[in-house]
Chain A
Amino acid sequence: MMAMTARRLASSCLSLFILVTLVFFMAHLTPGGPAYSILGQKATPASVAALNQRLGLDESLPRQFGLWLWHLLHGRLGYSYLLNRPVGQLLWVYERNTLVFYALSIFIGTGLSLLLGLAQGVWSGRWPARLIGAFQLGFYAMPSFFVAAMLILWFAVDLGWLPASGITDLRDPHPGLASFAAHLALPVATVALFTAASLSRYFGEAVHEELGKDYVRTARAMGAGPAAILLRHVLRNALRPLVTLLGLSFPYIFTGGVIVESVFNYPGLGWLMWRSALSQDYPILTAIVLVIGILTVLGNLLADLANGLLDPRESYE
């Protein structure tokens, strides 16, 4: 166990170093360099040179890289060109919103996927399972922005029940929790539906598989009711891949986030990434790519380690 942990840790560290190096050189291959995106296309050579000197961009590349790594190790991610605030601070402001949004979506989506997966496994081959299968296939091929657009058209425009964008009502000086919840409803519904569709497929298959196993027959023969069998025995075994799945879907949580947050103008990390890409605010872009890459590597590491704890056989691979 210790040896495996050490090996995985070392491998993750190496991945992180490559990632950091790649991101640095990617950002430095920018045609024109950052000076042009700050000063605009009409900048004079003199003003560009002055800005480059101020930002330290006239240093040699290895020196810049060293300096950048040094700052990174101290948690300094630079300043946003447009908002002129430290990137670390900005990221945290937006990340808070994303965390609330995603924690809710994943929670609801996972709960929904459990119900759907159980139903699909139990009624396998009959019409409820087919209906769930159609739902899964549909959402597999459906672009998230299209689903979001339909939800806006239906619930925000046609019925007028829910707001279509933003995070609170700007006209209200003291927006309460209710306003926040109403603004969250449609984005959360979008992500929860996609989460439920993709996760329930695994549960459906797992439940169906588990139901055919010997221990279920034994439990049934000993007089256990269907509810007890499902909840106490089958569900526990079918849930095993959940840790890995959630770990693997970790980065994709952020991708879905870019689109859904942009559609609903929800000020989270994905929305910030989108706005920064449109306005070429590289410090923010690099920081987000870095943070997501680091989180992904850590997420994979944690999923590996958790699996090793849950099932010791895994660590002997």
Chain B
Amino acid sequence: MRQGVTSWLGRRPGRHGTLAAGLGLAGLVLFCGFIAPFLYPADPYAIHPAQALRPPSRLFPLGTDELGRDALALLLSGGFSTLAVALPAAALAFLTGAAYGFAAGLGPLWLDKALMRLLDVALALPGLIVLLFFAALVPQTNLNLILLLGLISWPGLARLVRNEARAQRGRDFILAAEQAGASRAYLALVHLSRIVAPVLVVNATFMTGDAILSLSALSFLGLGVQPPQESWGSLLESGLSLAALNPWWLILPPGLLIFAALLAAAMTGQGLLTSWQGDA
């Protein structure tokens, strides 16, 4: 589980300072991925061989790659495909984890035992190793990547939700609802989800960051978003493959955007946590 980030900056940044900064960064990242591609209409796939590997200039604000493609246009379209895969994947992981957690937490004891045992095994393997294993098994289409990332990164949330559900289970209002004939699904959706909401929302933000990181890592390793589509991870990799020529304008921007996205997720999640716990 995540530990508190409150002490990271060693002081108390106003009650909602972290949250505001996180949301601001998140807005910036979303703007780069979904709106900026329409504001900067240059074709990311048009090649200008005469202008190959130029540093930033008036014509090409972020320079060009080895084929003479506009690096800014590539960065923006890469941002779109990164987010278009990572965000649905995070949503899928979230739904799977929450459903699994509620099933274990509210179901009969044998189901809980079986599901938790399976979870222990799932948690015993580092996510990236399992991701690489499966990414090698299936063709890396965007849909497959969404399914893969979504179906692999849920165990952490599942355990949290299960523990919360178990802890709340014996409380009077749950027993009363059960006596009144409420089904388990009704209990989960109406009564428990309200109590577990902070845990769910905070973890949803963290999981979004994790999905972006995992997808970028996969793409960096050549097993994520496939050409001709670009993504931040694959752009960083192709920039680094030319490292001997020192093309910093191809390496820094995608790296900084991934960094910004992860920072946004971490700060938003932590900001929400502190503003809910009320001890900013």
Is the pairing of A and B real? Answer: yes
- Which residue of chain B has its CB nearest to the CB of A273? B132
A286 to B8 alpha-carbon distance, docked (Å): 39
Q: How far is the CB of B239 from chain A (nearest CB, A)?
A: 8
Determine whether the beta carbon of A143 is less than 8 Å from that of B10.
Answer: no
Of B5, B209, B223, which contacts A137 at CB under 8 A? Answer: B5
Q: How far is the CA of A4 from the CA of B64 in the complex (A)?
A: 62
**Contact at A293–B8, with CB atoms within 8 Å?**
no
> Contact: A152 with B121, CB < 8 Å?
no
Of all chain B residues, the one with the shortest Cβ separation from A299 is B124
Main secondary structure of the interface of A (DSSP, over half): helix
- A250, chain B: closest CB distance, angstroms: 9
- Number of A-B residue pairs with CB-CB distance less than 8 Å in the complex they form: 156
Question: Are A146's CB and B255's CB within 8 A?
Answer: yes
CB within 8 Å for A300 and B8 given contacts A143-B213, A152-B240, A277-B223: no
How many angstroms between the C-alpha atoms of A288 and B133 in the bound complex?
9
Residues of A within 8 A of B243 (CB): 149, 152-153, 156-157, 164
Question: Which of B10, B221, B222 contacts A120 (CB under 8 A)?
Answer: B10
> Which residues of the partner chain A approach B266 to less than 8 Å between Cβ atoms?
137, 140-141
Chain B, 1-34, CB within 8 A of any chain A CB: 3, 5, 7-11
Given A141-B262, A143-B255, A251-B124, the answer on whether A276 and B217 have CB atoms closer than 8 Å is no
**B154 within 8 Å of A (CB atoms):** no
Q: How far is the CB of B184 from chain A (nearest CB, A)?
A: 26
Please pick, from A29, A120, A143, A254, the residue contacting B259 in the complex, using a CB distance under 8 A. A143
B133 near A277: Cβ-Cβ < 8 Å: yes
Interface of chain B residues 187 through 219 with chain A (CB within 8 A): 209, 213, 216-217
**A292 interface contact, C-beta 8 A:** yes
- Number of A residues, CB within 8 Å of B: 63
Known: A143-B216, A157-B246, A276-B136. A205 touches B7 (CB 8 A): yes
CB distance from B191 to the nearest CB of A (A): 30
Knowing A19-B121, A149-B251, A157-B244, the reply to whether A285 touches B8 (Cβ < 8 A) is no
Q: Which of A172-219 contact B (CB under 8 A)?
A: 201-202, 204-205, 208
Interface status of B109 (Cβ within 8 A of chain A): no
Smallest distance from the beta carbon of A177 to chain B beta carbons, Å? 26
Q: B241-280: which residues lie under 8 A (CB-CB) from chain A?
A: 243-244, 246, 248, 251, 255, 258-259, 262-263, 265-266
Given contacts A18-B121, A126-B10, list 20 more A-B pairs with CB under 8 A: A15-B117, A15-B120, A26-B137, A124-B10, A130-B11, A134-B8, A143-B213, A149-B239, A156-B243, A157-B243, A157-B244, A164-B243, A201-B3, A208-B7, A258-B221, A259-B217, A276-B136, A278-B136, A278-B221, A285-B132
Binding site for B on A (CB under 8 A): 14-15, 18-19, 22, 26, 29-31, 120, 124-126, 129-130, 132-134, 136-137, 140-143, 145-146, 149-150, 152-153, 156-158, 164, 201-202, 204-205, 208, 251-252, 254-255, 258-259, 262-263, 273-274, 276-278, 280, 282, 285-286, 288-289, 292-293, 296-297, 300
Query: Could you tell me which B residues sit within 8 Å of A by CB distance?
Result: 3, 5, 7-11, 117-118, 120-121, 124-130, 132-138, 209, 213, 216-217, 220-223, 233, 236-237, 239-240, 243-244, 246, 248, 251, 255, 258-259, 262-263, 265-266
Give me 18 A-to-B residue pairs in the complex whose CB atoms sit less than 8 angstroms apart, sorted by A's number. A18-B117, A22-B121, A126-B10, A132-B10, A133-B8, A137-B263, A143-B216, A145-B237, A149-B239, A150-B251, A153-B246, A201-B7, A252-B126, A254-B129, A258-B128, A263-B240, A277-B135, A285-B133
